[in-house]
Amino acid sequence: MATHYGYTGKSLAFLQKNNLQVGDLVNVTTDSSYNGIIMPRYEYSDDEHIVLKLKNGYNIGLEINKIKKITVESSFTMKREVIPQPHSDPNLPKLLLISTGGTIASRIDYRTGAVTPALTAAELNAAVPELAKIANIDTEVLFSEYSENLLPEHWKKIAEKVNSYVKSEYRGIIVAHGTDTMQYTAAALSFALAGIPIAVALVGSQRSSDRPSSDAAINLISAAKFLVQSNATGIYVIMHNSVSDDEVACHWGTRVRKNHTSKRNAFQTVGESPAYIIRCELIEKNSQFEITKREYLPRINFDTHVALVKYYPGLDPKIVDYLVDSKYKAIIFEGTGLGHIGKVMYESVARAKKKGVFMGMTSQCIDGMIRMTVYESGRDLLNLGILPLANMIPETALVKAMWALGNSKNYEGMEKLMKEKIALEFSD
């Protein structure tokens, strides 16, 4: 079947009429003569051009109505490279890599420019051969989605899959994940699988594996070392700790936030140093992160009738009224400073409380504790029924509220869970 990635309208019709597809090597005559490979196009590009990759490596766009002649020199046939299975070393521990669509290791087809994920054990070993010296790694594709498309229902599937392997022979589990919503998934797993007796590492890359500056391989290697060499348990996010390759940070799943759009060290632990720092063979533990041992009783349910409302001057209180009328059962406010929202919101907040809606307060400030007793406005909000959530990250508070609501029978049960420290989500 012919492939025409990104081509629509006139350009698609042109390719189909001439029996052409992405990957074909063609000779094109316009006012000049060109020899190159037909390349994919962006989905929303215009339909007036085709793109060729020339022998010198540069891409050019050719306007189809100026093409006088086009002939195929060789047709592209999709061939899957035969990669030998990695040698299994019985002396090494076993790890499992679950892929959700975040491509931490991939292979580039320089003929077409396509980047394909390396998902089998053989492909993974070929892409990152260092892994074979650390562990025997099995792989499983759970789903393939950009992380911005992941929903709480995906969190549940990941948690259920991880839980199914808790008593297996695997020393630890790597979850390959896109970076955009990794902190949400990490928090969701931290609550749903609280007390898990093994370590689970969410790993992604800020830059794809075909780029010289990619962080994919080092993040993956560091995660494998961490799972094999440490005695850690719990949920972690493992990403670069600096712009260079000398340090990788291991962040606790409820205290991490993506703070930069593109830097390799975009992820940071809020309010503290990372749980671990990985430097080559050295794994340095942060003594402040002591996990209280608890019985492992997975509670893998989420209720999405929760909203995160960021307060700002001019926010219409009708937004809160809308949420109440839409049967939302919990609202997390991202308030100012020590935990405030303007008095214009008070009437709607009082109505929400009367309707039995749980309300929690976090801060827009990156770091620091909620202190709603300091100022009169904060005390007013306490009196109206808003619960201060210490130094919980707003996104973490949102996820915890979805989890608490999904695992509670009533308001009181949810409030009790929100007050309880489950997975280091707030400081004492």
263 and 396 co-located in one domain: no
Per the residue annotation, which of 47, 109, 180, 210 is the catalytic one? Answer: 180
Residue 65: which CATH number? 2.30.30.520
DSSP state of 284: E
pLDDT at position 213 is 65
> Is 381 contained in some domain?
yes
Three-state SS at 193: coil
272 and 327 co-located in one domain: no
115 and 36 co-located in one domain: no
357 and 244 co-located in one domain: no
> Is 143 contained in some domain?
yes
Contact 353, 384 (CB under 8 A): yes
271 and 400 co-located in one domain: no
325 and 235 co-located in one domain: no
70 and 100 co-located in one domain: no
Per the residue annotation, which of 112, 179, 269, 362 is the catalytic one? Answer: 179
Q: How confident is the model at residue 1 (pLDDT cuts 50, 70, 90)?
A: very low
51 and 104 co-located in one domain: no
**Residue 320: domain span:** 306-419
> Is 49 contained in some domain?
yes
> Is 371 contained in some domain?
yes
Q: What does the pLDDT average to over 1-24?
A: 87
Domain stop point among 253, 285, 317 = 285
Cα angle 46-47-48, degrees, rounded to a multiple of 5? 95
Q: Is 77 among the residues known to form the active site?
A: no
128 and 230 co-located in one domain: yes
223 and 159 co-located in one domain: yes
Residue 217 has pLDDT above 60, yes or no: yes
Per the residue annotation, which of 100, 112, 138, 258 is the catalytic one? Answer: 258
- In percent, the amount of the chain with pLDDT more than 70 equals 90
Residue 174: which CATH number? 3.40.50.1170
> Is 388 contained in some domain?
yes
> Is 370 contained in some domain?
yes
- In percent, the amount of the chain with pLDDT more than 90 equals 71
Per the residue annotation, which of 100, 103, 139, 269 is the catalytic one? Answer: 103
Other Cβ atoms less than 10 A from the Cβ of 64: the count is 18
Q: What does the pLDDT average to over 331-356?
A: 98
pLDDT at position 103 is 57
Give 110-119 contacts, CB < 8 A, sequence gap 24+. Answer: 111/23, 111/37, 111/76, 112/22, 112/23, 112/37, 112/39, 112/40, 112/76, 113/39, 113/40, 113/53, 114/5, 114/40, 115/208, 115/209, 115/210, 117/144, 118/209
Number of domains in the chain: 3
Q: Is 409 among the residues known to form the active site?
A: no
In the structure encoding, which two tokens stand for residue 298, read together?
A: 């997975």
114 and 226 co-located in one domain: yes
Q: What does the pLDDT average to over 325-338?
A: 98
Q: Is 116 among the residues known to form the active site?
A: no
220 and 347 co-located in one domain: no
> Is 193 contained in some domain?
yes
Q: Is 103 among the residues known to form the active site?
A: yes
Residue 390: which CATH number? 3.40.50.40
Its pTM stands at 0.86
